[in-house]
Structure 1
Amino acid sequence: MLDHLVGKPSANWKRTQVLLTLTVGWWVVSKGDTKRLPKLLQRMDKSIVGTAPWKITVAAWTAYYLLQNLFHLVGLNAPEPLARLYKRSFYRATWILTALDAGFFTAMPLKPLWLRHVCSFLFSFYYLFFADDAEEKVRRVRATMSVEQMRVSWEKAANNPILLAFSKLNRPSFSIRRILHFDRPDYHQHLPPTEVYFFYHGPPDTLAQHNTILLQFPGGGFVSMPPPCHEDALAAWAKQTGLPICSVNYKKAPEYPYPWPIEECFDLYVSLIRDRGKSFGLSGEKELNIIIVGDSAGGNVTSAVTLKILAHNQQIRNQNQAASLSSDSLLSPFPSTSLADSKHTHYTEPLFDSLIPVPSGLILIYPALDFEMSCWMTPDQLSLIRAESKTQLFRSGSLETLWQAKDHFSHASPLSVVPDIEKTSLWKRVLINLHLYKNDSKKVPPTSSLGSSLSSSSLQQPPSGRDPSIRERVHQPAIDKHAWGTSRLAMTSRMSFFNDRIITPDMVRAMAILYLGPHANPDFDSDYLLSPVVAPFELLAQFPKTFMMCGEKDPFVDDTVIFASRIRQAKMQYPSSSTSASSGHPNSVVRVKFLEGISHAFLQMMAFLPEAHQAAKTIGAWIQELAEDAAMNHDVHLSHSNLSSSSLPLTTSTNTSSGANGPTTKRTMSPELAEVTAAAHVAEIITSEKEMINRRKQQLVDGLY
C-alpha cells in the first residue's frame, strides 16, 4: 500500500511496509496488556492456555505474513514491470480506481439495491488497503468480462449514490439541465428518437443569444457510459466556455451494434442544423455553429460522423458536377477522383439533395480510431510517425517516449517500454558502501550520484549499471542506430502497452466484438467509418480544425499520431479542398497534445487526478478558440452573402452552401480575410479562375431546374 500512496511501484517501499507491519505485530504480541479485559476472560485465558488467545492469533498472523513476504525482505522479489511507466499521480489514481472496481465487482451479486450500493463502497475501502488483492480481483474479472460487468465498472460514479454525492461536491452546478428527445429526420422517421442531455451554466435568460453549441459524443467502449458519467468534464467546460452543451446518449452495443451509433449521431447533427437550436432554447435566427468533442469511443464516432458529412457533401458535388458536365464541358474545381470509385469507401446514395455544413471544429480526446488489432506497425505507419517527429505539429520531445517504446532492441527485455535505468536495490547499496569503506586505502573509482560504484570489476555489470540491451548483444549491430525505424520490428501501441492498468487487451477484444455484432464482416483496411485512420485523403483534406489530446502511455496513442499525420498530409496534398473552418497552415489546423506519463480515460479521474483538471482547462481553451473562429467566419460569410445577389440563405433543410458562392467562398476564404470587414469586398471583386468556373457551372445547373 505504501508504494501506491507514493505513486511508484517499488521493492524498497514494499520492504519498508513489511518491516513496519512485522514490527507492529511483534510489539502488540510482546507488549499487549490483557489487564483491561473482563476478569472472567482473564481467568479463562490463564486456565485454558496460559496466554491470551488473541495474542496467539496475532502471532500466527504475523508469522504467516513474514513467510508470505520473505522474498521481499531478502531482495529476491520479482522486478516491477510498471516501475517508471506512469506518472506518480496517475499511478496513484489507478490504485484508487482499481480498488473501486474490485469493490463493485465483489458486491455485484448482492440484493437489494441499497445493500449493494453500501457494500460496494465498503468493499472498495477494504481494497484500498489490500491493493494486491484488488489487482488480482480485477484481473480475473477482466479475463472474461461481461457487458454487465463493464457497465458496473464504468458507470459506478453516476449510478452509486455515495460516489455521486462526493462527485457533486467538487463539480460546478448547471443553471439548466434537461433531457431532450429529438426525432429522427424524415428519411429515418421510423427509427426511435435520440436522447440528448442539455447543459447550460450561464443565466437562463442569456441562452437564446447563443448560436454556437458544444456537441459531445461520449465515450465508453461503445457499450456503456451515458452522459451523466461525463458530467465532471462537461460542468468544467460549461463554466469555462459559457456555451450550451448537448451530450448525446446514443444507443449502445451489443443491443445496437455498428453502424447504429454513427447513423444516430449523424441524424442528430442534421436535426440540430435544421432546427438551429430552437428545440433547447436558442433563438434560431442565426446559423448554428457546432463544435464536436468526443473521447475514446466517442472520438471514433466524432470522426466517423464528420467523414459521413464530408462524404455526403462530396456525393452532392459529384452529382452537380456530372449534371454540369453533361451540359457544358467545364473543368471541375474538386478532386477528380470519385468516392464511389474509391477503394476506401462504402458508397451510398445521398439521403437528401442539400449540402450539410461542416462542424466548426473537432476535439478528439484519446480516440480509438483503428479496429485493426495488428501486432506490428507497417512501414507506412512508421513513416508517418517519423514525418511527424520532424514537424512542429508536436512540441519537441513529445514523441521521444513513443520512439523508445517502439525501439525493442534498446532494452534488456524486448517487452520493456521504459528506459533500462534501474536504481540499485537497497541491499546492494549497503554492501557496496561497506565494500568501499573496507577498501578505503585503495584508490576506488568515484561513486555515482546514487552512491554505488558501477565499475565492471566490482559488480560485473555494464558501465551503466544495467543488463546489456539486445542491440548490444548482437555480434554485428546495425551501423545506423535508427535503422530499426525502417524495419517491421516495431509493435503497435496496443501491444507495447500490453500491461496497461486501464485498457487491457482482453477489454479491447471484448469491446470490438460487442460493437461489430454477430453479423459483421468488415473490411478494416477500407471501412473508414469503422476505422477513420484509413479515410481517403480527399475527405481528410476537408476536415475542419482538429485538436487532439492523448496520454503518451495510452494503448491508442498510435491512432492519435497517425490520424493527425494523415490529416496534415491530406491538407498539403489537397490545399484547395480546405474550408474556411480548416484553412491555414496544416500545422495550425491540426494540433496534438500529449500528457506525460498518463494513459487512458484521465477525464474520468478528475476527482483524484490533478492533471485531469489541467487537461480539462486546456480543452476548454480549445473550445473557446474554435468558438471565436466560428463567430469570425460567420460574420465574414454573412457580410459576403449580403454583397452577393446570387447566394441563398440557409434553409431548414440544411441547404447552407446551395448558393452560387457557398462552397467556393468557404473553400477559398482564409482566416486572414476575417480580420477586417473590407476583406469580404476584396474577396468578392478579386476572384480566381476556379471561382469563375464554379459560378458559371452553378448558373447552368440552376437553369436546368
Structure 2
Amino acid sequence: MLDHLIGRPSDNWKRTQIILTLLASTYLLFNGRTYKLPRSLVVTNRILKQYAPWRIALGTWLLLYLTKHTDILLGLDAPDPLRRMYKRSYFRGTWVLTALDAGFFTAMSIKPAWLRHLLSVVFSFYYLVFADAAEDKTRRVRASITVEHMRTSWEKAASNPILSFFSSLMRPSMTLKKVIKVKRPESSERAQLPPVQVHLYYAGNLDDLPDQTSLLLHFPGGGFVSMPPPCHEDAIARWAVQTGNLICSVNYGKSPEYPYPWAVEECYDLYCKIVESNGKVLGYRGDKPLKIALVGDSAGGNLVTAVTLKILTHNQNLLTSSVSSSFVMTSSDTSASIHESQAIPLPAGLIAIYPCLNFDLSCWMSPSQISLMRAESTTSLNGKSISHLLESKDHMRHQSPLSVEPDLERKSLWRRAFGLEANHAKRGTSLEERIKFMPPSMTDLKGANTSMLPSAGFVPRLAMTSRMSFFNDRIIPPGLMRAMAILYLGPHSYPDFDTDYLLSPIVAPSSLLAQFPKLYMMCGEKDPFVDDTVIFAGRIRKAKRENSRKSHHPEGDSESVTVRIMEGMSHAFLQMIPFLPDGDRATKAIGRWAQQILSSDDDTKTSMTKSKSLSNVAAIVTNEKDMIYRRRMGLVDGLYAGINEDSS
C-alpha cells in the first residue's frame, strides 16, 4: 500500500511496509495488555480460552481464506478469459510449466549452484499449489524479461540435474549420443567462420550406422534465443527409436550474441556440407544416395523453411546466370564444360511444428489472408479445427470483441451448480445484434454473407491476427514475442518485412513456393502462430496449382502439403511430453511423417553425388546451348545457300 500512496511501485517501499507490519505485530504480541482491548475482544478472548491454540490458528486461517474468496462463492468474480480456451489436458500442462517457471525465476539469483538447483524444484512445488501466485510471478517477470530469464525458463529440463535425471528415466535410451563439429563448406564465403556444432542421436546398431542412407536433420526451436538440442531430447529420442534413423540436431548460434541471419546461414552451411560429403562428415560411408528430411519446431520451423528458400534461391540464381551466359556467341560454345557452382539438391521433405513464419507483428488480417484460411478449411484434413479458428476471428458474433470462444450462452452460478438448463431469455447479445446504424457504404453488403465461415457469398470482414487474438496465451504472450523479435533482429536497420523471405518465409514469392518439397505442418488451434501455418500452407497449395496450370500438368499437388491442427492446444506441446499425453501422440505423428518422407521412392529423392546435383542445371544449359548452336549453324547454312543460288 505504501508504494501506491507514494505514487511509484517500489520493492523497497514494499519491504518497508512488511518490516513495519512485523515490528508492530511483534510488539503487540509480547507487550499488549488485555485489559486495554475493546470489550468485544475481551469477550472473544474469554470464549476462545476453551479451544486449543492450533484450533484458533486454523479457524483464523479459514476466516481469512473465506474473506478472500467470498466473491467467487457469490459469483461476483471477474470471468476467466481462459476458461474454455484450451482442452483440459493442455491446460494442466501449462499449469505445470507455469509453476516450474515461477519456481526457477524465484531461485535464479541464489548461489551456490547446488542450492539454486534444489530450491528451484522446491519453489516449483510451492507454486503448483498456489497457481495464482505462479501466474502473477511469471506475468511480472515477462513484462520486463531478459535473456537470462528466457534461458532459465526454457532450458530448465536440461540445465537442472534433478529435472534432467527424472526426464531421462521417461525417454528411450540411445546407443549414440555424441557432439561433433562440422566445418563450413570450403567453397562458401563463410568458410573461415567457426564450425557448426551438432548433436548426433541414434538408437540402432552402431555397426549399421555407416550404411545408413537417410538422415533426419533437426533445427531445434527456442525463440532463436535458447534451447540447444539437449532441451529437445524427449522428442528426439522417440523419433530416433521410431524411425531408426540418425538424427542430427544443430546447436546453431543464438541471439543476441548471434543475430539474424547467423542461424539461417549456419544451418544452410551445414546442409550444404552434408550434401557435399554425401553424409561422410556424420560418419556415413557416402557411397549411396542420401535422403534428408528437415524438421524444426517454433524458431526451428522458421529455419526449416528459410533454409529451403535459400536453396531454391541459390538454384534459381545459378540457373539464371547459366542460361544468360549461354547467349554469348563464342567459338567455344559447343565445347565448353560445365564448371560453374553446383546446384544444391532439395531435402526429401520438410516438417514444421508450430513455426514462426512472420516477423511483422501486425494486428489486422488482409482479405487475401482470410480467403486463404477459408480455402484451407475446405481442403485440410483438419477443416473442423480451422473452421473453429475462423469462428474465433468473427469478432462481431461474440458478446466481447476480444473473446475467441463462444460467449453468448452463459449459465448463472446456481444453474451450473444444480445442472439447470440455461434460460434463453437471458442469452447474451452479440455485437452484430446491437448495431442500430449501418453506414451507407455498407448497406449493399446487408444481403451478403459476411460471416467468416465458408460460403459462396463470402465477404471477408475485419479480423485480428492470431498473435493479437490469443494475446492471453499462457506460453507466448505478445510481450514475449516482441522480446524475441528484437533479440533476433539485433542491431540491424529496420528490416523489410514485406520482402525478406529468409526472415519471414510467409512472404516468399510464389515462384519459389511452387518448388517446395513435400511439407508437413502441425500447430495448435490456439497458438499465436497458427495463422502462419494455415496461410503458408495455403500459399504453397495455391502456387503449386498455378504452376500446374501454366505447365499444363494435371493438378496432383494437393497432397504436397499436409496440415494438422491440434484442437484446444497452443504452443510448445513437444516440451510437455512427460505430462501431456497429446504431446506424446503428436511426437509419434511427426515420427510417422518422417518415416513417410525417408521411405518414399518418389522424385524428391535427394542424391548427394556431384553428378546428380549438376544434372538438372547441366541439362538445361546444354539444351540451351545446343539450340543456339543449331540456330547459328542454320543461319550460316542459309546464307551460304543464298549465295550459291545468286552465283548460279
TM value normalised by structure 1: 0.76
Q: 1:287 aligns with which of 286, 289, 310?
A: 289
- Aligned partners of 1:584 and 1:274: how far apart in 2? 34
Map of 2:302 onto structure 1: 300
> In the alignment, is residue 116 of structure 1 matched against residue 109 of structure 2?
no
Residue-by-residue CA offset, 1:669-691 (whole Å, 9 max, x unaligned): xxxxxxxxxxxxxxxxxxxxxx8
Secondary structure, counterpart of 1:398 in structure 2:
helix
Q: 1:571: Cα distance to partner?
A: 1.0
Work out the CA distance in 2 between the residues paired with 1:536 and 1:396. 26
- Between the aligned partners of 1:619 and 1:634, the Cα distance in structure 2 is 19
Cα offset for 1:320? Answer: 1.2
**Mapped contact 1:355–1:656 kept (Cα < 8 A):** no
Structure 1 window deviating more from structure 2 (273-282 vs 306-315): it is 273-282
Q: Which residue of 1 aligns with 2:557?
A: 586
Could you give the per-residue CA deviations for residues 632-653 of structure 1, whole angstroms, max 9, x where no partner exists? 5488x99xxxxxxxxxx923xx
TM-score, normalised relative to structure 2: 0.82
2:527 corresponds to 1:554? yes
Aligned pairs (5 A) from 1:322-471: 322-327=324-329, 353-390=341-378, 392-420=379-407, 422-428=409-415, 450-452=419-421, 454=423, 456=425, 461=426, 466-471=427-432
Q: Is the 8 A contact 1:528 1:535 kept in 2?
A: yes
Deviations 1:156-176 (A, max 9, x none): 001111111111111011111
Q: For residue 103 of structure 1, what is the aligned residue in structure 2? A: 103
Corresponding residue for 2:196? 194
Query: Which region of structure 1 is more displaced relative to structure 2, 154-163 or 74-83?
Result: 74-83
Q: Which residue of 2 aligns with 1:270?
A: 272
Q: For each residue in 1:104-162, what CA deviation from the matched residue of structure 2 results, as whole angstroms up to 9, or x when unmatched?
A: 00001110000000000010001111000000001000110000000000000011111
Deviation per CA, 1:233-267: give whole Å up to 9, x if none.
Answer: 11111000001100000000000000000011111
2:183–2:194 Cα contact (<8 Å) kept = yes
Is residue 2:614 matched to residue 1:658?
A: yes
2:542 corresponds, among 544, 548, 569, to 569
Q: Give the residue type in structure 1 aligned to 2:274.
A: L
- The equivalent residue for 1:473 is 434
1:244 to 243, 246, 258: 246
Please state how far the C-alpha of 1:318 moved relative to its aligned partner. 0.2
Confirm or deny that 1:607 pairs with 2:578: yes
8 Å contact kept, 1:546–1:590: yes
Residue 180 of structure 1 is matched in structure 2 by: 180
Task: After superposition, give the CA deviation of every residue in 1:299-336 in whole Å (9 maximum; x if it has no partner).
Answer: 111111110000000011001110223349xxxxxxxx
Q: Secondary structure at the match of 1:81?
A: coil
Name structure 2 gaps, 5 residues minimum: 1-44, 331-338, 439-445, 453-457, 631-648
What's 1:147 paired with? 147
**Residues 1:380 and 1:584: Cα distance change in structure 2 (over 3 Å):** closer
Distance in 2, Cα, partners of 1:90 & 1:211:
37
> Bigger shift: 511-520 or 483-492?
483-492
Q: Residue 544 in 1 paired to residue 517 in 2? A: yes
Shift of 1:62: 1.5
Equivalence for 1:697: 624
CA distance in 2, matches of 1:489, 1:634: 40
Cross-structure match for 1:336: none
Name which of 483, 501, 504 aligns with 2:474. 501
How big is each residue's C-alpha offset from its partner over 1:265-291, in whole Å with a ceiling of 9 and x where there is no partner? Answer: 111111111121222221110232211
Give, as a single letter, the amino acid of the residue that structure 1 aligns with 2:433.
Answer: E
Task: Summarize the Cα distance change of 1:294–1:258 in structure 2 as closer, same or farther, 3 Å threshold.
Answer: same
> Gaps (5+ residues) in structure 1?
1-44, 329-350, 434-449, 639-648, 665-690
Q: Is the 8 A contact 1:525 1:534 kept in 2?
A: yes
- RMSD (Å), alpha carbons: 2.7
Question: Shift in Å at residue 65 of structure 1?
Answer: 0.9
Q: Distance in 1 between matches of 2:357 and 2:340?
A: 28
Distance apart, 1:576 and its partner CA: 8.9
CA distance, structure 1, for counterparts of residue 604 and residue 131 of structure 2: 54
Q: 1-side partners of 2:424 and 2:505: how far apart? A: 52
User: Does the 8 Å CA contact 1:202/1:239 hold for their aligned counterparts?
Assistant: yes
Question: Percent identity at matched positions?
Answer: 53
C-alpha displacement of 1:520: 3.1
Residue 524 (structure 1) aligns with: 497
Q: Deviations over 1:430-456 (max 9, x none)?
A: 7xx8xxxxxxxxxxxxxxxx5236253
User: Is the Cα–Cα contact under 8 Å of residues 409 and 422 in structure 2 kept in the other structure?
Assistant: no
Contact 1:106-1:120 within 8 A present in 2 as well:
yes
Question: Residue type of the partner of 1:419?
Answer: P
Measured at CA, do residues 694 and 275 of structure 1 come closer, stay the same or move farther in structure 2, by a change above 3 Å?
closer
State the one-letter code of the partner of 1:77.
D
Question: How many Å separate the matches in 2 of 1:421 and 1:475?
Answer: 19
Determine if contact 1:393/1:587 at 8 Å carries over to the other structure: no
In 2, distance between residues paired with 1:510 and 1:702? 58
- CA contact 2:267–2:307 (8 Å) conserved in 1: yes
Amino acid at match of 2:609: L
SS at match of 1:592: strand
The answer to whether 1:511 aligns with 2:484 is yes
Cα offset, 1:405, TM superposition: 1.1
Number of residues of Structure 1 aligned to a counterpart in Structure 2? 562
Secondary structure of the corresponding residue to residue 565 of structure 2: strand
Aligned to 2:65: 65
Partner of 2:596: 625
Alpha-carbon separation, structure 2, partners of 1:455 and 1:633: 59
Distance 2:224 2:106 in 1: 24
